[in-house]
């Protein structure tokens, strides 16, 4: 039986986890935030599908149009990237956004909102609101705009809609959330129940990111910082995707339950064996399935008729 221990199959999820750990291993207490951001962007650089990318100033917020062939000009998805409000950018998420754009047949505006600790809450929210206003200033109707985001970006998707609702502004047609970070107080039971299953995100790390975003005196239960604590009534249809291995699993499942209770049309998808924002990793077959489902949701609510063949 020599070598039997090497016969254990390495799954695509295992390879994705190793990609993440390889990044984190290079970081220490002395690693600067700028270096972390550069490393993260480099680790996820590239674009695996044919799209056109065009930089734009969205009302003063740096952004990029990511456009598949034959995308309608009167529809748009506004995308907010993840990264704990500390790292992440259009560059790190370009491939994910491009795959969503390609699958949905809709152009996507991804934005580089300001990050903490240089720019704490509500700077990111302010930038996201400006980007939404920019799309409307371009002549797009709210009914022809959808929001999408992952992790901290999923938080922003919800927070922007809540802030817009509070200002009496019209809301987008729908919103898609991947592993949304909705509770900066990190009170979900999954922080314990999934602690061993989650290879990356533990509660102490999540709380540190929350403090980095909010500042030492910030309130993690502010509904615009932690949408789980908000009144969700009146929000448009939501699609919520999350991996079952995530410590932040309950941020998604509890958000979905609360949205449904508030009368919001909500679809929750819990993906067995999947890690945080598994959609980032094209080598994971379920990532393609999840993006296809997300694209169907966007097409339905934006009334984009033609079916796109998956790449």
Residues identified as active-site? 151
Three-state helix/strand/coil letters over 89-131: CHHHHHHHHHHHHHHHCCCEEEECCCCCCCCCCCHHHHHHHHH
Rounding to the nearest 10 degrees, give the CA dihedral for residues 85, 86, 90, 93. Answer: -90
User: How far apart (Å, rounded) are the C-alpha atoms in residues 42 and 92?
Assistant: 7
Token pair recorded at residue 229: 């604590």
| Phi-psi sector, 72: left (phi>0), alpha (psi -120 to 50), beta | beta
Beta-bridge partner residues of 147: 78, 175
Distance CA 256, CA 295 (A): 19
Contact 135, 76 (CB under 8 A): yes
Alpha carbon distance 155, 183 (integer Å): 9
């Amino acid at each position: 039986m020599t070598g039997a221990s090497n016969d254990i199959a390495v799954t695509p999820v295992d390879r994705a986890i190793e990609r993440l750990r390889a990044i984190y291993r290079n970081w220490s207490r002395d690693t600067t935030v700028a270096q972390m951001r550069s490393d993260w962007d480099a680790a996820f650089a590239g674009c695996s599908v044919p799209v056109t990318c065009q930089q734009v100033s969205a009302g003063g917020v740096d952004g990029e149009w990511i456009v598949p062939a034959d995308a309608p000009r009167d529809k748009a998805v506004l995308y907010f990237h993840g990264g704990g409000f500390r790292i992440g950018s259009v560059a790190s998420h370009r491939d994910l956004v491009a795959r969503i754009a390609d699958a949905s047949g809709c152009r996507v505006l991804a934005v580089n909102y300001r990050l903490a600790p240089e720019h704490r809450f509500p700077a990111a929210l302010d930038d996201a609101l400006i980007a939404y206003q920019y799309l409307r200033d371009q002549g797009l109707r709210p009914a022809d705009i959808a929001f999408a985001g992952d992790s901290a970006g999923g938080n922003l998707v919800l927070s922007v809609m809540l802030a817009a609702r509070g200002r009496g502004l019209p809301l987008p047609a729908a919103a898609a959330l991947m592993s949304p970070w909705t509770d900066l107080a990190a009170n979900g039971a999954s922080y314990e129940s999934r602690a061993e299953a989650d290879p990356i995100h533990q509660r102490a790390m999540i709380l540190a990111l929350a403090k980095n975003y909010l500042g030492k005196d910030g309130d993690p239960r502010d509904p615009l910082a932690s949408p789980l604590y908000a009144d969700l009534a009146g929000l448009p249809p939501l699609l919520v995707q999350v991996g079952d291995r995530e410590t932040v699993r309950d941020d998604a499942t509890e958000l979905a339950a609360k949205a449904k209770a508030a009368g919001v049309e909500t679809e929750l998808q819990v993906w067995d064996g999947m890690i945080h924002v598994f959609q980032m990793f094209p080598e994971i077959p379920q990532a393609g399935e999840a993006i296809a489902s997300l694209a169907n949701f966007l097409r339905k609510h934006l009334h984009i008729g033609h079916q796109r063949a998956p790449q």
